[in-house]
Amino acid sequence: MDDSLFDKLQEFGGKLPKKFSILEDQIDVDLQLEYFKFSKKNKVDKDFNIDNIPDLKTDEISIEEKKKILVQLAKIDDPKAFRIIEEFTKTAPQELKNWTILALQESRILLESSLLDENQVFISTGLGGKNNMLRYFVVFVGENVSEFSDFQKKIISSEFEFALKKQNCEFEEIIFEENYAMLTTLIPFNVAFQNMFRAIIEECNQYGNFLSHNFIVTNVKKLTAKEITDFINNKLPEQNEIDSIDDIDLNTFDDDDE
């Protein structure tokens, strides 16, 4: 699939708002889904009063009750509600840390939408993002290679850094295992990354055809060594790379969802 993610979003949503909000934190996709389902289910109680909510820091309130308070605060178009959530992010226990971050993001979008009088699209993936970029985890596999040589590692690193910079992507890290390389990078919406990765592989293969044309790309999570090895051994397609757009996990909501 050669379309950029921005084109794909336009395809799904028609004319999209100019303003996008991207979840920067890396939060497990299952937890995100749990939050959004819980948020839709728990509307703001009629007697809910910001000034009378219990102290979220106290241990006298259960975790479930704190979750409910947080999602209700996130639905209130009042800077005071945002500040309460923001303050709690500093001391939230580990089991509520990511839940609180999601509530803060929802609250921020609600306030910005109200101030700008424009619905916004919220995009969240398991690996997060920054500004107008999403984070991707990419795996490139050696072709008839049991272990990359130092020369091959240098070629891969330099070609990828050069190509990513040229496309205004942000290179984060590359880790080499015996016969595959794991790349983490931030990519803007308007970059057709499938084509970019194909071109980089072609450039690397000018030095000996040591990279497979098959590759794995996802923004859901960083794969474990076992998952990568199992995939290479059992599931790689014979001719074309993974259709990575299908691996993208997007959660969108705006004021109209409330």
Residue range of the domain that includes 143: 131-247
Is residue 257, in this structure, part of any structural domain at all?
Answer: no
Overall domain count for the chain: 2
Same domain, 146 and 108: no
Q: List the structure tokens of 77.
A: 């178009």
5 in any annotated domain: no
Q: Say whether both 213 and 145 belong to one domain.
A: yes
pLDDT one digit per residue (tens) for the chain, 258 residues: 345 555 555 554 444 455 667 788 888 889 999 998 998 888 887 778 888 888 898 888 999 999 999 999 999 989 999 999 999 999 999 999 999 999 999 998 888 877 766 666 777 788 988 888 889 999 999 998 889 999 999 999 999 999 999 999 999 999 999 899 999 999 987 788 888 999 999 999 999 999 999 888 888 899 998 888 888 777 544 444 443 433 433 333 333 444
Tokens of 58: 């106290």
CA distances to 40, 41, 46, 235, 239 from 37, rounded to whole Å, are 5, 6, 20, 32, 39
Of 117, 143, 170, the position where a domain reaches its end is: 117
DSSP state of 2: -
Residues 135 and 81 grouped into a single domain: no
Rg, C-alpha atoms of the chain: 21
- Say if 10 falls within a structural domain: no
Note whether residue 9 is domain-resident. no
